[in-house]
Chain A
Amino acid sequence: MSTTIMQHVRRFLAAALVFAATGCASYTIFGTADKDDVITPGTIAVISGSPEEADIRLAELFTDQLKKDTRFTVVSQDVIFDRIPNYPVYSFVNSISDSKENNSPWMPPDTKGKIAGYQSILGTRYILVVWTENLQVTQSNYGTDFGINFFSRLIEYPGGRVVGYSSYRRSRGGCATAFYGTNTNIDKMLGTVSEDVVEGLMEKTRIKK
């Protein structure tokens, strides 16, 4: 019971933080492309959208979170690194995050093609591509505030259709940040992103453990 209340409080706080950070801009923690889309348990690999440290770390965090909370069979990051030479070498995603379509399932055909190449090596039913943009650290009278834009695309195979997506800004601030260094605060913020999104994914699908 108390867990449920805490979950509601956490969701409310997450939504409030997102709203505060994005103002009136539209955002999606996790949405399905079509309201009738059903995401069912299967194999999944989380792919970093670029070679940036934050994106590679997010792929690790999402892999762990999906393993912990869902019935997906999740490919480990070590397997992805072993099987795909020079992974993660592509920046798949700049054209998406810079586009007006970033808060939608849209993905350009050439990006879809590159991700399909990864999927053919990994052989999973789903590929979840995750990436970030615009990491900011600002100092105020009340301490240090951190913020980052997060995006994802969940692609289903065969077919290569985008069935889910994310686009939102996550923030971390207040007195909690005073106890940690910059990199640890950013790491904790990325951890919260993976928790938010996997929770959103479970709400809209049938994958909860």
Chain B
Amino acid sequence: MHRIKIWALLPAVVFLSSCISTFSVVDREPVAKGKKLAVISGLNKPENLMYAAFLTQSLKKYTMFQVMPQEEVKARVPAYPFRIRGPYLSYIGLDADYSRTNIKKIQEIQKKLGADYLYVIWAPSSYTVNNGVIVLCTVGQMFSFPGGKEIGRGDYSLSWAKPGAFVIGPKKSPEETMLYFSELSAKEIAEKLNMTKPGPAGKN
């Protein structure tokens, strides 16, 4: 385990802000409702898998995509989850670099899944601020198939308080935080791709 000392880089952590953007459209192509989408964990780390599961659940709830369960992804892709080189440098925090993604690997996964869209999420690193707040850095990219063209992307951080830490504001567990951000992200994806599910679940 690295022992990272960040003397100079204690960033201000903004809690659960509603103005955060989790997704922006890169290529504005029409997305047909009912198309198959699979969420892929870009790393085989527990927190990455957990967040991929929450995103799967939230995208199913808020969008008109036909979202593939994580169990089906595991069944169809041998050795999943595994590391896919992602769009970032992330030694301390995360700097997105969308040219770094291993597109070839993502295309191979899509061939096994047969999905129309893949939303790949990476949560490569976390750090602790002032011994009280854990910050998890994430970055995601959405690809359309056939072709593997990137249609959307976003990077953002999730944060939650350590048990017993003195933190102003509501304390959420990692699970509650991931659920909150996955719902925020699913609603934003739905809105920006015109894929919001009709009815009470789809409303913000």
Contact = CB atoms under 8 A, between A and B. Distances in A.
Interface of A: 50-54, 56-57, 78, 81, 85-89, 91, 94, 132-139, 144, 181-184, 186-187
Contacts of B92: 135, 137, 182-183, 186
A85 B82 contact: yes
Contacts of A134: 2-3
Contact of B7 (A53, A85, A139): A139
Contacts of B93: 182-183
6 contacts: A52-B2, A86-B79, A135-B2, A135-B4, A139-B7, A182-B92
Interface stretch (B83-91, B150-158, B163-171): B83-91
Contact of A54 (B7, B79, B91): B91
B9 A137 contact: yes
The 8 A-B residue pairs with the shortest CB-CB distance, nearest first, are A139-B8, A183-B89, A183-B95, A186-B91, A85-B79, A136-B5, A135-B4, A138-B7
Contacts, number: 74
Interface in B1-16: 1-9
Contacts of A56: 83
B125 A53 contact: yes
Nearest to A131: B2
A132 B2 CA distance: 8
Given A53-B125, A54-B2, A137-B8, A187 B89 contact: yes
A136 B174 CA distance: 27
Interface string B27-60: 0000000000000000011000000000000000
Q: Pick the most buried of A89, A132, A138, A182: most chain B CB atoms within 10 A of its CB.
A: A182
Interface string B95-119: 1000000100100000000000000
A56 B125 CA distance: 13
Contacts of B91: 53-54, 57, 135, 182-183, 186-187
Nearest to B124: A53
B79 A53 contact: no
What is the predominant secondary structure among interface residues of chain A facing chain B?
mixed
Nearest to A139: B8
A50 B45 CA distance: 13
A137 B95 contact: no
Contacts of B94: 183
Contacts of B89: 57, 183-184, 186-187
B8 A144 contact: yes
Contacts of A89: 44
A135 B7 CA distance: 12
A52 B92 CA distance: 11
B46 to A, nearest CB: 11
Contacts of B79: 85-86
Q: Pick the most buried of B8, B92, B95: most chain A CB atoms within 10 A of its CB.
A: B92
A171 B6 CA distance: 15
A35 B60 CA distance: 63
Contacts of B124: 53
Given A81-B83, A136-B5, 17 more contacts: A51-B45, A81-B82, A85-B79, A86-B44, A88-B83, A133-B3, A137-B9, A137-B92, A138-B5, A138-B8, A182-B9, A182-B92, A183-B89, A183-B90, A183-B94, A184-B89, A184-B95
